[in-house]
């Protein structure tokens, strides 16, 4: 892996990011893939899975949370914490839009479940509002905790490397 901060600026080389890195840097692509796959996975779980098994249901919810938080981490990890302030909410909004559109398509195909019944077009606004609310709460809370952990680790690394003067200079600038 190429060093991002070389000691001599003359050693910078322009490198094309690998395909996966370019994909993770695109907020639209990451959010759309996350939303579509999350809604399709939900449809499969609610249609095929054993509805009365709480362990299965809990595992499906946990897998969905891991999926959305993992995809948010893959995207946000490419940027500085100050850019997370607008990227995390934008990711959630785009993800929820993609999920809502996928839900609309599933309703048209008769495959979207609401409880044990099939959803109708009249159910779509409530499904969309619920999707936006829960995704916003989950991803923003996760992003805030992740940002705290990142700052803690950075602080610990600065202390470990005995670069307190760097830490003092940064705090003095603020």
Asked if residue 90 lies in contact with residue 27, where contact means CB atoms within 8 angstroms, the answer is yes
Give the separation between CA 32 and CA 4, rounded to whole angstroms.
29
What's the whole-number mean pLDDT along residues 59-83?
Answer: 94
Predicted confidence at residue 173, as pLDDT, reads 56
Give the separation between CA 107 and CA 123, rounded to whole angstroms.
9
Better-predicted residue by pLDDT, 18 or 134: 134
* Least confident window among 2-11, 90-99, 127-136: 2-11
Tell me the CA distances in angstroms from 27 to 39, 103, 120, 152, one per residue in order.
Answer: 18, 21, 30, 26
Predicted confidence at residue 153, as pLDDT, reads 87
Could you tell me what percent of the chain has a pLDDT over 70?
83
Could you give the angle at the alpha carbon of 27 between the alpha carbons of 23 and 33, nearest 5°?
70
What predicted TM-score, i.e. pTM, was given to this entire model?
Answer: 0.80
């Amino acid at each position: 892996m190429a060093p991002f901060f070389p000691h001599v600026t003359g050693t910078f080389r322009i490198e094309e990011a690998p395909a996966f890195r370019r994909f993770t840097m695109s907020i639209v692509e990451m959010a759309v893939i996350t939303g579509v796959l999350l809604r399709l996975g939900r449809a499969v779980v609610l249609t095929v899975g054993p509805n009365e098994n709480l362990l299965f249901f809990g595992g499906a919810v946990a897998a969905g949370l891991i999926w959305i938080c993992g995809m948010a981490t893959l995207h946000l990890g490419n940027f500085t914490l100050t850019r997370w302030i607008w990227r995390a909410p934008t990711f959630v909004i785009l993800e929820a839009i993609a999920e809502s559109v996928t839900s609309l398509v599933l309703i048209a195909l008769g495959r979207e479940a609401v409880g044990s019944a099939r959803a109708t077009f009249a159910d779509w606004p409530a499904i969309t509002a619920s999707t936006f609310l829960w995704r916003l709460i989950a991803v923003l809370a996760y992003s805030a905790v992740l940002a705290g952990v990142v700052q803690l680790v950075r602080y610990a690394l600065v202390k470990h490397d005995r670069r307190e003067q760097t830490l003092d200079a940064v705090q003095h600038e603020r």
